[in-house]
A and B are shown apart, each in its own frame.
Chain A
Amino acid sequence: MPGARRRRGGRERLVQVLFLAPAGLYLVLFFGYPVVKNVLMSMQAYTTRTFFTGEAPWVGLANYATALGSTLFAPAMLNTALFTIGSIVGQFAIGLALASFFRRKFPLSGFLRSMLLLPWLLPLIVSSATWRSILDQDSGVLNAFLRSLGIIQEPVPWLTSPSVALLAVVLVTIWVGIPFNVTILYGGLQEIPEELYEAGAVDGATGWKAFWHITWPNLRPVVSVVLVLGVVYTLKVLDIILGLTNGGPANATQTLAVRSYQESFVNFQFGVGAAFSNILILISLVFAVIYLRLNRRAVDE
């Protein structure tokens, strides 16, 4: 009965296709189309006029030449790197410290841990507006606080000096990113069996020793996930920077994401904006590939 078998095979295939179809359609519509459109846009003279006429002349790589040749490209690239590395190191270190701290059960620990999520729940527009007033040079709460403690004599020009502004933006991004790091790392810590610590304690591994020889090796897979996702999220941060400094003062906080936004929605050069965002996507892609490879290795193990 070869005919019947073939029919059964055909039906199985249909079922497979139908199972795949929703996900496939979703990917094509919401990931494939925007990515392709963005790549095309970056090779067109895409301006306000295009929206009405539909005409966008092909310009090849001219938009990339404009983006790479602008005097702001190198500083924006450097700022993106400093901003991302600074934010990730801060978020991760503080996140891990807090996660380890909450591993011990103490009264109200559950409540405090949920309070930690607060920065995550606030809309970024709200938190950056609030931070802007906290960091104000003359009347900001932070400078008043540091002065009352005697840590500083002169007010720190958090958002008004080109040499300090990037640091201020990094500090706020760290504050925003801590909940994500704590949540994932805390989950990872819960997975480490208690017996390991008990056995370690018998052999004299307590405190820092226990952390280095038990916690850290067991947490490695989770750490790599947190770091790679953190990098991808941080690379594209836009709202915090726009809310705090608008890329200023004197372009001190320009990043690739800010350049892309300003070219597209302030200067209406959508082609150049798309070129900037594609460069950003490419950088994210490198980290996404690292993430996938690390994941696969974890599965293989």
Chain B
Amino acid sequence: MNKKINRLLALAALAPLALTACGGGGSQASANGKVGELTVLDYYNNEPDKTHIQKALDKCASELGVTLKRETVPGKDLIQKVLQRSSSRTLPDVLMLDNPDVQEIAATGGLSPLSDYGVNTSGFAQGMLDAATYEGKVYGLAPTANTLGLFYNKEMLAAAGIQPPKTWDELKAAAAKLTTGDRYGLAFSAIATYEGSWQFLPFMWTNGGDETDLKSAKVAESLKLIDDLVASGSASKSVVNWSQADVRDQFAAGKAAMMINGPWQIPSLAKTPTISWEAVQVPVHEAGQIPVAPLGGEVWTVPLTGNKDKQAKAAKLVECITSDENQLALAKERFTVPTRTALAGDYVKAVPQMAAFTDQVSHARSRTGKLGKEWPKAATVMYTAIQLALTDQATPGEAFTRASAG
């Protein structure tokens, strides 16, 4: 009898092992040189982006003679998915990552540098290369990039008789003048997530502040600007709880005359045709400064799957999707900016609305260029300090010291 129980228990114990064995088997198959199918993982799970990206992928796949198996997940789930797949050794052949995450994932050892496959990375915007570089090697390329700018409601500014602001003083004056009744002059996001830090960067960087020295006077000055805007009532106190999508909704509803936001909002702004808008670069502290904004956008990488042939093919796919032709096509469809700097002129000619953003991208910096894996810590300090100042828990001068206490 005991023998039977033992046999049963042994079977029960083996069952999970057998299951994992099945799961792991697939990725090692077909190591004989011929690549039929590549798996792709990205976070463009919403329309219209999903279709635009699919079109670009399909075009490249047919050029390379492979079929694609694409999986899209919501943006906030991507990193968890990547980590799960890393531990079960089922990473996709081609992986899209948000640019500030590339170094974090490259540091796990799960990605392969593009130099292994002879991919030419020259001519790309330096900011994007910085984001994708880990220990001196480039791990991915982005077809297009985005950044932040100042959107303004043309009718409201015309009615108030003011020009789009170029400096902080002009921004404050314009925002104050445009604030009436239940309408605010300016809307931006200062939410307690990385979105809040991202929206603060154009002010901080343009003023010479740096993420490696957050307690500097330059950074405090930038915080004072947005604190003044909220304290004077030119921007809503609700900015501490607004995401960038909320900011767009306020602007689209006519409850804000100007907003800090990115060009990815353009398709949804188009759904409210009654709002006529234009965009300029984010105002600078003193006239003559060059506006430095953060660089957004997604990078395509080649994970280490163990199948050399597939990895090589995947690198070709990354090369193809970032080709000049695809960059321009994707940039036009998605209101993003080509990352190959030489394409800027052609692009602005084709899409004049994007002129300000294209200029802004040429000087834009990546969030992880200096701090790499340490960026999340700095970003947390930043949004905490912003929240402390805007809710009057600390003055702009002491907010960063308090926030970095941990």
Contact = CB atoms under 8 A, between A and B. Distances in A.
B406 interface: yes
A171 B225 CA distance: 34
A71 B219 CA distance: 23
Nearest to B182: A138
Contacts of B193: 246
Contacts of A52: 86-87, 108-110
B350 interface: no
B234 to A, nearest CB: 13
Nearest to A135: B241
B259 to A, nearest CB: 15
Nearest to A17: B5
Complex A-B, nearest 3 residue pairs according to Cβ-Cβ distance, in ascending order: A248-B192, A52-B108, A250-B387
A139 B83 contact: no
Given A25-B12, A251-B384, A139 B5 contact: no
B108 A51 contact: yes
B241 A159 contact: yes
B255 A139 contact: yes
Interface residues of B, number: 37
23 contacts: A10-B1, A21-B12, A48-B108, A49-B107, A49-B109, A51-B108, A51-B110, A52-B110, A71-B405, A137-B236, A138-B182, A139-B182, A159-B238, A159-B241, A162-B391, A245-B241, A246-B193, A248-B191, A249-B387, A249-B391, A250-B387, A250-B393, A266-B376
- Residue from B108, B109, B391 whose CB has the most chain A CB atoms within 10 Å: B391
A160 B240 contact: yes
Contact of B236 (A138, A162, A247, A248): A138
B215 interface: no
B12 to A, nearest CB: 7
A11 B109 contact: no
Contact of B241 (A10, A72, A248, A251): A248
Given A138-B255, A160-B391, 20 more contacts: A10-B1, A14-B4, A17-B5, A21-B12, A48-B105, A51-B84, A51-B87, A53-B108, A72-B406, A139-B255, A160-B238, A160-B240, A247-B192, A249-B241, A249-B387, A249-B391, A250-B391, A251-B192, A251-B387, A265-B79
Contacts of B241: 132, 159-160, 245, 248-249
B203 to A, nearest CB: 19
B210 interface: no
Contacts, number: 96
Interface of B: 1, 4-5, 12, 79-80, 83-84, 86-87, 104-105, 107-110, 182, 191-193, 236-238, 240-241, 255, 376-377, 380, 384, 387-388, 390-391, 393, 405-406
A21 B12 CA distance: 10
A139 B181 CA distance: 12
Contacts of B5: 14, 17
Interface string A59-88: 000000000001110000000000000000
Nearest to A11: B1
Nearest to B399: A250
A265 B237 CA distance: 28
Nearest to B230: A160
Contacts of B388: 250
A71 B406 contact: yes
Contacts of A266: 376, 380
